[in-house]
Structure formats: structure tokens, C-alpha cells
């Protein structure tokens, strides 16, 4: 079966999209940096969760995790080890 250029482009996009989504799932520090960026832009946790949900899928981060990290950021904590300070 011969693929049309449009079909091939769609396949390539889906492949790249999947790899990037997997990268976020497997790299919590990178994901945290994305959350910090949204926090610094003064976007609410609820909005940020929905953006992630709609962009990269439900299984990348839980709503509670977004809320947790926004609370950490509000208290000046950038990682989990800061809890001990």
C-alpha cells in the first residue's frame, strides 16, 4: 500500500508526539520545569492541568500533582528535598 504525503506527515507527527509525551512521563524534572513555567506566568493550577491534559494526555500528570507543585512553588520550594528545610 502506498502512503500519500499527507498520511505520511500524519504518521510522522503522531510518532514525534508520542515520543515527546513519553519523554515528559519519564522525566519528572522536565515536567516540573514546565509546571514552574506556567506558575511563573501566573496561570492557575486548574488551568495548567487542563492544558497538559488536552495537549499531552491524561496519563502524564495527575490533577493532585499539579496542585502539589503549585503549592510548593508558592512556598518557594523547587523540589521535594526543599521540604526538609
Give the pLDDT of the chain (85 residues) as one tens digit per residue. 566 777 777 877 788 888 888 898 899 999 999 999 999 999 999 999 999 989 888 888 999 999 999 999 999 998 876 554 4
In the prediction, which pLDDT does 37 show? 97
What is the C-alpha separation between 16 and 5, in angstroms, rounded? 16
Task: Note the pTM of the prediction, 2 decimals.
Answer: 0.77
In the prediction, which pLDDT does 83 show? 53
In the prediction, which pLDDT does 73 show? 97
In the prediction, which pLDDT does 74 show? 96
Amino acid at each position: 500500500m502506498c502512503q500519500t504525503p499527507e498520511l505520511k506527515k500524519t504518521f510522522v507527527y503522531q510518532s514525534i508526539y508520542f515520543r515527546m509525551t513519553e519523554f515528559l512521563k519519564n522525566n519528572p524534572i522536565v515536567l516540573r520545569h514546565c509546571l514552574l513555567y506556567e506558575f511563573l506566568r501566573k496561570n492557575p493550577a486548574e488551568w495548567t492541568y487542563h492544558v497538559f491534559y488536552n495537549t499531552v494526555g491524561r496519563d502524564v500528570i495527575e490533577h493532585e500533582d499539579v496542585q502539589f507543585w503549585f503549592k510548593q512553588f508558592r512556598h518557594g520550594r523547587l523540589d521535594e528535598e526543599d521540604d526538609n528545610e
